[in-house]
A = this chain, B = another copy of it.
Amino acid sequence: MSDAGTGAVAAAELVRRAEKLDAGDPLAGKRSSFVLDGTVYLDGNSLGALPVGVPARVADVIAREWGELRIRSWDESGWWTAPERIGDRIAPLVGAAPGQIVVGDSTSVNVFKAMVGAARMAGPGRDEILVDATTFPTDGYIARSAARLTGRTVRAVRPEDVPDALSGRTAAVLLNHVDYRTGRLYDLPGLTAAVRAAGAVSVWDLCHSAGALPVGLDEHGVDLAVGCTYKYLNGGPGSPAYLYVSRARQDAFDSPLPGWTSHTDPFGMRGTYEPAPGAVRGRVGTPDILSMLALEAALDVWDGVSLADVRAKSLALGDFFLECVAAYVPDGRVECVTPRAHGERGSQVALRCGGAEAVMRELISRGVVGDFRHPDVLRFGLTPLYVGFGDVERAARVLAVVLEGVGGEVGVG
């Protein structure tokens, strides 16, 4: 883009393209289900925007259900059954039949339940746990803790190397559906089949895929899965995570966190733990109602949404964003580390960039919100329910201006 005039023509053309794409977007109407402003918000893969229905629902939960009904709400307002009820609301978004998902606790705690549970499901002599070497750190820490506590060892392998690493020693494999840094999508069907063929137990972390693309847990025979709800599911900051235990694995699921709320007779207050059947077995303590019911309200935005539309728009947004970046940003200033192939891409675009931390600060100050990931990655999350093509065009244009401003620092740092 050495010539300013040519650049202006290209920009005008891309703006027109964006308008046309937005006009033809079947999900465009969903944007009004969220509280948005003039900001280009490309950080929904970290914290989803606020759905408009949440404030009134939470106000009612506090003022009426807690303030007036108080303790009666455990029954009368359905608080007690919220973990499995909301689990069943998430189920269709990840391709699960009802009765297999329970909501509660943080993702980390659910990874722990899943990994100890998986290790205990594995047959004798299976003393090794495989963990995605590129994982979000907590998953690795927790997998190591689960291994230490159950007498297993941990080996970190790249997801693409898992098939070769599997053996008769493999107890369980913890994988990320989408890499939190690069946005790379891994082959859940193929890797799950390989894990199963090796006689091991598969555990998938869906934090960066649920709500952004079809997952197909039941269809692909996943054993266990966990995910957060505050990214593409828009549940709010630190909203409760979920645990999926497939129907086939439920009876063998032996949780390291056996709480009274997963007891077959919770109000019997019995001294001996007898786990309830089904998804309820994944519960532990008293459910965190305010956050949980905020999440429930947030899930209303999915009514009538086709995940195929979501996926198609997500990929189109990524393609168009990369096209705009290529048009606006001088060669060599950024390097895309997100795969271009649709089959290998989640719902974010990650750009390596010299001085990335300062660049992201400047982008945010100019109303384009993504985030920085150590050491040199700019992350731009594409949330199809409320991000438009005009947003990503503007993001690329502002990025080019910012990079111009930071000047000499060319190349990837």
Contact = CB atoms under 8 A, between A and B. Distances in A.
Interface of A: 35, 37, 39, 41, 43, 46-47, 49-50, 54-55, 58-59, 62-63, 65-68, 70-74, 79, 104-109, 112, 116, 133, 136-138, 140-142, 144-145, 149-150, 156, 181, 228, 230, 236-241, 255-260, 263, 267-271, 273, 284-292, 294, 364, 369, 371, 373-374
Contact of A105 (B62, B65, B105): B105
B108 A285 contact: yes
Contacts of A66: 47, 50, 236-237
Given A71-B43, A260-B141, A286 B238 contact: yes
Nearest to A289: B237
A65 B54 CA distance: 13
A374 B41 contact: no
Given A136-B260, A142-B259, 16 more contacts: A49-B70, A73-B237, A105-B109, A108-B257, A109-B109, A112-B256, A137-B263, A137-B269, A138-B258, A141-B259, A141-B263, A141-B273, A156-B271, A238-B286, A267-B374, A268-B374
A142 B288 contact: no
A267 to B, nearest CB: 6
A294 to B, nearest CB: 6
A62 B145 contact: no
A149 B116 CA distance: 10
The 6 closest A-B pairs by CB, nearest first: A106-B285, A108-B285, A237-B289, A50-B67, A108-B259, A149-B149
Contact of A239 (B112, B142, B240, B290): B290
A273 B364 CA distance: 30
Given A55-B62, A70-B43, A71-B371, A106 B238 contact: no
A243 to B, nearest CB: 13
A136 B285 CA distance: 12
Name the residue in A70, A181, A267 with the highest tally of chain B Cβ atoms < 10 Å from its Cβ. Answer: A70
A286 B228 contact: yes
A376 to B, nearest CB: 12
Contact of A70 (B47, B133, B141, B267): B47
Contacts of A73: 237
A402 to B, nearest CB: 18
22 contacts: A47-B74, A50-B62, A50-B63, A50-B66, A50-B67, A58-B58, A71-B369, A71-B371, A72-B369, A105-B285, A108-B285, A109-B257, A109-B285, A138-B258, A138-B260, A142-B257, A149-B150, A236-B289, A238-B287, A269-B374, A288-B288, A290-B294
Contacts of A150: 149
Contacts of A104: 106
Nearest to A150: B149
Contacts of A373: 269
Contacts of A263: 137, 141
A285 B71 contact: no
A274 to B, nearest CB: 10
Contact of A369 (B70, B230, B257): B70
- The CB with the most chain B CB atoms within 10 A, among A62, A140, A263, is that of A62
Nearest to A48: B70
B270 A137 contact: yes
A374 B263 CA distance: 15
Contact of A47 (B68, B71, B105, B181): B71
Contacts of A137: 260, 263, 269-271, 273
B288 A239 contact: yes
A145 B106 contact: no
